[in-house]
Structure 1
Amino acid sequence: MPIKVPDSLPARATLEGENIFVMTEYRAMHQDMRPLNLLILNLMPTKIVTETQLLRKLSNSPLQVQVELLHTSSHLSQNTDADHLSSFYTTFDQIKDRKYDGMIITGAPVENLDFTDVDYWDELCQIMEWTRTHVHSTLHICWGAQAGLYYHYNIPKYSLPSKLFGVFPHTLIRKQSPLFRGFDDVFYVPHSRYTTNHLEDILAQPELELLAVSEEAGVFAVKSEDNRRFFITGHPEYDPDTLANEYFRDLNKGQAQNLPAHYFPNDDPTQTPVVRWRSAAQLFYTNWLNYYVYQTTPYDITKI
């Protein structure tokens, strides 16, 4: 998928170095088609890393996608340069009167806090309410999924006895779902979280459909019956070394940390992790964009 991004966005050089098609603004303006307008609310502290991971997965179809980056104004990011935010990000007040074909709400390392104790919770609730009328399809990731399930359907999250950390096998509940078209019977997804959603809470909500689960990681993929909201509890967009970096970061801080499961060969952290989730991750994001954004969004974006 040609991704249209600002010429100087750091992710552009990284993706072009990986032979991923990143479209210049000039070329995008001269194509006779309406691009999909996609908004990414990036709640992660390492914003440049997350931008690059997501843009990489949104880059493999002939569709043109115009991506905008959004950050919360009620939280001051301490891990991203202020110049980067001012150059490439917008705030909700600046875009609240616009409409979007698709939106991604990322995870955030705040799952041990009650939702209402997160300093940008009120702003996030305002944004999630706004998506009902201004976004055709919204994808919530990890803590963003837990926040969305709680806000839209009053489904709580629960603390786990220990951190769920590793790359876990998953199976499909709805094998005919277009979201998982082309998937193997068993597919792998990275997880890194301290909380979870209970299966029975999802099944008790008639407006939700359970799509995929893991025996070890629990609920993975859920969607609303009207296909407007999607919730995934893992991180298919993670890079090969993301879990390793997290593991060694915590060790260097003196924090007790289990090895990420099913990740290092022979559970030996000196060995290079084996990637088993890349193809499923690419399919997942491509399917969401194709079947639940491009195929169903109105050509006149004002009619969303």
Structure 2
Amino acid sequence: MKKKNYISLAIKAANTQIKELKKIKKVFNKSFIEAIDLISNTKGKIIFSGVGKNSFICKKAAATFSSVGIPSFFVDPTGVSHGDAGQIEKKDTLIIISNSGNTAELKNLLKFANRFRIKIIGVASNVNSMLLKASDVKIVYPHLRESDPNNIVPTTSTSFVMMLCDCLATTIMEKRKFTKENFFLYHKGGNLGASLRLAKDIMVTGKKMPVIDYKSNFKQALKLMNEKKLGIVVITKNKFINGLITDGDLRRVLNDSSKKRVLSKITRNYPYVINESMSASKALGFMSEKKITSLLVVSDKDKAKKNKTLKGIIHIHFLLKDEIR
């Protein structure tokens, strides 16, 4: 076979899957709605189970569900007879996936679930299968052409079921109004976590902030600047943000007469302020645009007010250290 044919063969396989995956709309029916309601009302966990290639789909689906706040895990059906059934409780819901629906390894799991009245969402292509007969919610998907030359290797069918599970998860996300902030709670690490961090996740707070009253003198401000090492000192009046002094502001008048070293004369009265729910990446963009190295952070409700209470400070070094982009 000529190497140039490799691309055409790959395109042929991809086109087969693309064509077949469009049939996903056929499963968006009453059963799909029932599945969403059952998952949403489950008091326990969502437990995925399947064998062969479907076991990997189930593990991925369980990970996706957990990542959006739906407690979920995978149970190997072959282990049910050897103690794994102890992980399953009455308040849980099972989502069992099998193309034929007659996989022998599912028998013991189905018997256990039916005996203890554990709800089952069955996903299969055979409406008369053992799985769907034992299920409370029956999701039947159409017979699909696999993308291999012999139409036997699970390729299209596994992609189809993975898409179905993703659609279940994303529909529930919409139903629960699941936000980026919610998502970040389960993704603290990695590049994804970094991109989802908010100002309040990175800012310094409390005694780490260089805050001083407007009545303070130059020496006190200079001492605080050196102690906190953020390159700024925040000036407050009646506990509200009154202004800001940078390290450069202090250094420029350091050798001047005491008359010129008065805080009110060097205070910047309108410092840049962001709300605590601003994304860290947006904060970095704002700092780059304004050519500044620090930002004051206030609560969401204070952002629009004239008098603002300081909640935290972000320095550009914090953002770069956490690999915010």
Class of the TM-score when normalised by the shorter of the 2 chains: under 0.3
The one of the two structures with greater contact order (alpha-carbon pairs below 8 A, sep at least 6) is 1
Normalised by the length of structure 2, the TM-score is: 0.24
Greater C-alpha radius of gyration: 2
**Which is helix-richer, 1 or 2?**
2
Normalised by the length of structure 1, the TM-score is: 0.25
**Which is strand-richer, 1 or 2?**
1
